[in-house]
Amino acid sequence: MPAVPASSFVLISGPSGFLGAHVAQQLLQAGFRVRGTVRSKEKGQYLVDRFKQQGLDKFEFVIVEDVEAPGAFDEAVKGVDAVVHTASPFHFNVTDPYKDLINPAVQGTLNALRSAAKEPRVKRVVITSSFAAVVNPHDPVYTFTEQDWNEFSPKQVEEKGKDVDPSQAYRCSKTKAEQAAWKFVEEEKPAFDITTIQPPLIFGPLEHEVPSADKLNTSINNFYGFLTGKKSAEDAQAGFGSFVDVRDVAKIHVESLLVEEAGNQRFLVATSDSSYQPLLDLFFAHADDSLKSAFPNAEKGKPGNPKPKANVMDTSKVRKTFKWQPIEAKDTVLDMAKSLAEYQQKWSA
């Protein structure tokens, strides 16, 4: 029996984001009725209109301006059968790691859980965590599993305070948010169970509203930097570890609601280990001339010359539980580039 049948009513936080929009779209495609929390009416209406154009008319939105405010989701959660919490800041513009990243991540997660606990209908809460909550520096290469936790980044924040590297502050925010979620379940014993999902860097096509290039989300902006020539051949060698397609991550969120055994589990989800160079190689090998012409300054890097692997993720659990096969890396790269070419056209119109 599915944990949350596909005809149910689901609340999603963050559908205006890169990943959240795909999760909301796939929930609707699976037959769920979906309520999204957004920070403005305009962002909500954009999604209503976009989904309607795709024949998906069971999306509604409510405004939750501040996920940190006590009781933030109390109204939004009324009447729903499940919650998917994706909203969390992912950027590196950090002046205060707590104010900018850690507090909204942790309090946003706890508020989603506290509100869910007030709605007796809620059976499951799915939380977007991150590989950031799992990874530790390792030399030589190490294979991470769902047993691993990031112990390094919280220590870095503790030791360095406001001078901490912004990427460590982000990793700390995701670690502390996920740990807070598991502690909540252990201590409060709510009527629902939770599932947490740990993707590495997410790429793929865009569904959400991006009014200008400088508003691109962090992971897509990284790749776009190569397409526009702002990033160098040296940057392309940087081993970021692993990546995954946004449609796959969304799919695992939806499956986590449907599959009973996904309750009380963590899931590492990744396509493969990589640096940017192999992704650029795929772009130049497979993009047609029209797609290439959208990016005349694209950086080729040093073809066929990736840096050695950094992090390795054991994804056997997610593959087995959901009988999941990742989208091919070539399709991730081409669909992301096509989508960015379309957005570019809108930005210059």
Measured from the CB of residue 1, what is the shortest distance to ligand NAP in angstroms? 29
**Position among 8, 25, 88, 111 found at the interface with ligand NAP (CB under 6 A):** 88
Asked whether position 16 contacts ligand NAP by CB under 6 A, the answer is yes
Measured from the CB of residue 210, what is the shortest distance to ligand NAP in angstroms? 9
Measured from the CB of residue 304, what is the shortest distance to ligand NAP in angstroms? 25
Asked whether position 242 contacts ligand NAP by CB under 6 A, the answer is no
**Binding window for ligand NAP (CB under 6 A); candidates: 15-23, 110-118, 252-260, 323-331:** 15-23
**Position among 3, 10, 19, 122 found at the interface with ligand NAP (CB under 6 A):** 19
**Cβ(156)–Cβ(172) below 8 Å:** yes
**Position among 111, 128, 150, 271 found at the interface with ligand NAP (CB under 6 A):** 128
Measured from the CB of residue 293, what is the shortest distance to ligand NAP in angstroms? 27
**Position among 97, 199, 278, 306 found at the interface with ligand NAP (CB under 6 A):** 199
Give the span between the Cα atoms of 210 and 198, in whole angstroms.
25
Asked whether position 23 contacts ligand NAP by CB under 6 A, the answer is no
Match 């010359």 to its residue by tokens: 305
Q: For residue 166, what are the β-bridge partners?
A: none
**Position among 11, 35, 51, 104 found at the interface with ligand NAP (CB under 6 A):** 104
- Torsion angle of C-alpha atoms 259, 260, 264, 268, degrees rounded to 10: -20
| Tokens coding 172 | 């700390």
Measured from the CB of residue 7, what is the shortest distance to ligand NAP in angstroms? 26
- Torsion angle of C-alpha atoms 325, 326, 327, 332, degrees rounded to 10: 180
Of residues 1 and 51, the one with the C-beta less far from ligand NAP: 51
In the 3-class helix/strand/coil scheme, how is 67-118 assigned residue by residue? CCCCCCCCCCCCCCCEEEECCCCCCCCCCCHHHHHHHHHHHHHHHHHHHHHC
**Cβ(299)–Cβ(280) below 8 Å:** yes
**Position among 89, 97, 278, 306 found at the interface with ligand NAP (CB under 6 A):** 89
Of residues 48 and 292, the one with the C-beta less far from ligand NAP: 48
**Position among 10, 20, 81, 301 found at the interface with ligand NAP (CB under 6 A):** 20
| Tokens coding 98 | 């707590």
**Cβ(323)–Cβ(207) below 8 Å:** no
Cis status of the peptide bond prior to 97, with omega within 30 of 0: no
Of residues 106 and 202, the one with the C-beta less far from ligand NAP: 202
**Cβ(273)–Cβ(312) below 8 Å:** yes
Asked whether position 154 contacts ligand NAP by CB under 6 A, the answer is no
Buried/exposed 146-165: b ≥16 CB within 10 Å, e otherwise = bebbbeebbebbeeeeeebe
Of residues 36 and 306, the one with the C-beta less far from ligand NAP: 36
Task: Give the number of C-alpha atoms closer than 13 A to the C-alpha of residue 7, restricted to the C-beta side.
Answer: 0
Total binding residues toward ligand NAP, as defined by CB under 6 A: 24
**Binding window for ligand NAP (CB under 6 A); candidates: 148-156, 196-204, 225-233, 335-343:** 196-204
Asked whether position 17 contacts ligand NAP by CB under 6 A, the answer is yes
**Position among 25, 26, 86, 256 found at the interface with ligand NAP (CB under 6 A):** 86
Asked whether position 202 contacts ligand NAP by CB under 6 A, the answer is yes
Distances (CA, A) of 189 to 181, 185, 250: 11, 5, 27
Report the interface residues with ligand NAP, using CB under 6 A.
14, 16-20, 39, 43, 66-67, 86-90, 104, 128, 130, 174, 199, 201-202, 217, 219
